[in-house]
Structure 1
Amino acid sequence: MNSLAPPRVAGSATRSLLRQVALPVGILVVVTVVDLATGTSTVYYPFLLLAPTLAAATAPPVAILVIGGVSLPLRYWLAANDGYLGPEYSDLFEVSTWMYAMATALAMYLSAARIRHERALVAVSEVAVAAQRAILLPPSDNLGGLRLAVRYFAVAEEAELGGDLYIALDTPFGVRLIIGDVLGKGLGAVRTAAITIGAFREAAYDEPELSTVARRIDVSVTRNAPADRFVTALLVEVRPDRVAFAHRGHEEPVTIRADGSVHVLEPPDPGLPLGLGDLEPEPPPVWVVPFHEGDLLLLMTDGFADARDATGGHYPLVARIRALFGEGRLEDADPVAAVERLGDDLMRHVGLLGLTDDALVLALARATDPPEPHHAP
């Protein structure tokens, strides 16, 4: 089996090189065929200069040198075929030869600069992706009597990764979790997300009040994150038959009851995002709603609200949740099935346009005790 690996690598490299030189080689072939087919009445060989010039966008420098070396004698041959290689054209051809040489050299320089930029971009992207993956760890399937599932859609353009974040912890005060979104993109957003999660880890185990946990995170983000960053967040604490929320400028959660009814949980007193606590002397209180066995809780970031279809229409989140899960379509409050179904529906909405912002959905439900094993008498 190992003996087959080198041919696969070589074949892949060959296909990659063919893709890189397809455009300039195509120009050489098309110009030559058209020039020969139209006879001596028209000339097309000057367009051969496009081959080494446009090759800078795709081909490596060595390939550009070869293309330039082929295009120049091909140009002389086509000129001779069209009757434009006499002594009266010698000065013109001397100038155009220098133009070919300079165009090829410039294309080689631009190609080398492009390759250096692409390699640097790949390195930065790998660092950013690794940092974000360290933040967005997959949750435990069963945490403190809860079933959790997450689906995340990343929009990474030139390492401009988003700052979506979440973490769930089983603390002495019950299961606590945070979902949030950092203003902006890039490594600064990933760093701010790491600061937020680190502060939540510290405070969630120590503070009995969820509002105090939010306050400690707010202080940490204000002190340690870049000045132009803040975090919209929703803190959640699951209690027996209830769930408590601390709202900090985030998207409203949605609950799907066991009877199929869908409820948007709007905070009675919305709070400011984390990092802006100095503007709010008295943070809003925690609010509590019922949460029973068979209920499903959905938490989203604003990537869902920002999603557009081909006509520019927003993703109708609540209407789609009712269509997907309402009226008995919940199927035993399975968080995994819920995030998969909602995520697939979101991607169908945006279609080929794709998402313009990172999107994250987290679902949780109370875990039911497994049935007692049946023993034959």
Structure 2
Amino acid sequence: MLQGQRRHYPATLAFLPVTVMAVVIVVDVSLGPEGGLLPLVSLGPAFAGLVGSWRRTAVIGVVSLGFCIGLGIYDNLFQERRGFTAMASVAGVTVAGVLAAVARSRREAELAGVRSVSEVAQRVLMRPVPHRVGPLDVAVSYTSAVAEARIGGDLYEVADTAHGIRVIIGDVQGKGLAAVETAALVLGAFREAAHDEPDLRVLGARVERSAARELTDEKFVTALLGEVRDNGVVFLNYGHPAPMVVREDGRVDFPEPPAYATPLGLSVPGGDAPGPFRVDFAPGDQVLLYTDGVTEARDRSGAFYPLAEHAAFLLGPDAQRSLDALRENLAHYAGGPPHDDAAMLLLRHRPSGAAAPRGATAVR
């Protein structure tokens, strides 16, 4: 909702103030002067202040006050204190409803402004990835653990460079704005170095140095960097979950690196760099990169989401629709909002009839 747009409420809420006043009036007329329900006419402006504009609340308050005066005369209540008490109640509630409607409208306008800024930040930080890069179809999915948010502590990027198609997916420790800031730092370093460095290991080292320079208080980022080349993908794994490889015939594999490196931001000077390893990626194959918000999602019994068992969702003809179906299945499995950000990046090698041997080998 952008600034200046009005918020639309369900018709039941919009007509609730009028309905309540009508019910009170009918019941009051039925019960007569002894019913004592006349002050309840003030429920009209009270409910109007919760869902309507201040002008609408004021109009309903005036109408409510008119009904109060009319019923008071009909019931002869102005010969005693009850009639004037009812009028004071309606007037007081109307003023309170108008003030509440003004405050709510201001909050909604501020929220609309914040949302518009966050949408701009989303486009800058998490730029849309191309749907096709070279021989690949690309699809992405991002689910934030923060209500109403579209960005968080997970990150991804696909860069078509002179050195090959390079990708990154990462998971920042923590949530909120601090995690978004860290994600922006890592993405900025990757986007610059991906086009400058011909060697994937040097690219990873540059991203690592940027993270180590800026991250403090033992904060870290797990990340998986990849480079697609020669019917294969070369990975650098910085403590991130292993990619899921779905072969053209439906077989599923989770290739592990020869040795995991520490996450970005936790390396020590002179420590071991991650060893690159190659995974065959033939036409018809798919590689799913994901964050632990996917595999650590739980159902009501506490069981983790069995990603491999649901890999068949990725076998549809359209990459993005297939990934969307997997995301919907994940949401259904968890049965509610995610407890952690969940990002997925799907790389699909378009079939060309070629075949290649499968496996994972270390790159030296």
TM-score range, shorter chain: 0.7 to 0.9
Is 1:360 the counterpart of 2:346? The answer is no
Cα deviation digits, residues 158-204 of structure 1 (max 9, x gap): 55732332211233432211012334455544443332222002222
The answer (yes or no) to whether the contact 2:169–2:223 under 8 Å persists in 1 is: yes
Which of 43, 54, 77 is the matching residue for 2:70?
Answer: 77
Which of 102, 105, 123 is the matching residue for 1:112?
Answer: 102
Matched with 2:171 is 181
Aligned in 2, Cα 1:366/1:324: closer, same or farther, shift over 3 Å?
closer
What is the CA RMSD across the aligned residues, in angstroms?
3.6
After superposing the two structures, state which structure 1 stretch, 276-285 or 39-48, moved more. Answer: 276-285
Partner Cα distance (1:68, 1:341) in 2: 49
Cα offset, 1:118, TM superposition: 0.8
Is 1:318 the counterpart of 2:308? The answer is yes
Residue type matched to 1:269 in 2? A
Partner Cα distance (2:202, 2:23) in 1: 71
SS of the equivalent of 1:177 reads strand
Residue type matched to 2:29 in 1? L
The answer (yes or no) to whether the contact 1:232–1:249 under 8 Å persists in 2 is: yes
Matched with 2:326 is 342
Matched with 1:54 is 47
Cα offset, 1:48, TM superposition: 1.9
Matched with 1:35 is 28
The answer (yes or no) to whether the contact 2:77–2:83 under 8 Å persists in 1 is: no
The answer (yes or no) to whether the contact 1:218–1:276 under 8 Å persists in 2 is: no
The answer (yes or no) to whether the contact 1:153–1:360 under 8 Å persists in 2 is: yes
Unaligned runs of 5+ in 1: 1-11, 372-377
Cα deviation digits, residues 1-26 of structure 1 (max 9, x gap): xxxxxxxxxxx989869776422222
Residue type matched to 1:146 in 2? L
The answer (yes or no) to whether the contact 1:154–1:357 under 8 Å persists in 2 is: yes
Cα offset, 1:80, TM superposition: 4.1
Partner Cα distance (1:17, 1:349) in 2: 29
Residue type matched to 1:285 in 2? G
Matched with 2:60 is 67
After superposing the two structures, state which structure 1 stretch, 43-52 or 361-370, moved more. Answer: 361-370
The answer (yes or no) to whether the contact 2:143–2:150 under 8 Å persists in 1 is: no
The answer (yes or no) to whether the contact 2:142–2:342 under 8 Å persists in 1 is: yes
Partner Cα distance (1:260, 1:247) in 2: 25
The answer (yes or no) to whether the contact 2:9–2:51 under 8 Å persists in 1 is: no
SS of the equivalent of 1:277 reads coil
Aligned in 2, Cα 1:296/1:13: closer, same or farther, shift over 3 Å?
closer
Partner Cα distance (2:38, 2:223) in 1: 63
SS of the equivalent of 2:308 reads helix
Cα offset, 1:122, TM superposition: 0.8
Cα offset, 1:347, TM superposition: 4.4
Alignment of 1:1-377 (within 5 A): 21-86=14-79, 89-90=80-81, 92-153=82-143, 157-159=147-149, 161-224=151-214, 230-278=220-268, 281-307=271-297, 314-321=304-311, 323-324=312-313, 330=315, 335-336=319-320, 338-350=322-334, 353-355=336-338, 357-368=340-351
Partner Cα distance (1:339, 1:149) in 2: 7
Aligned residues: 350
Higher helix share: 1
SS of the equivalent of 1:148 reads strand
SS of the equivalent of 2:15 reads helix
The answer (yes or no) to whether the contact 1:160–1:187 under 8 Å persists in 2 is: no
After superposing the two structures, state which structure 1 stretch, 166-175 or 104-113, moved more. Answer: 166-175
Partner Cα distance (1:111, 1:30) in 2: 23
User: Normalised by the size of structure 2, how large is the TM-score?
Assistant: 0.80
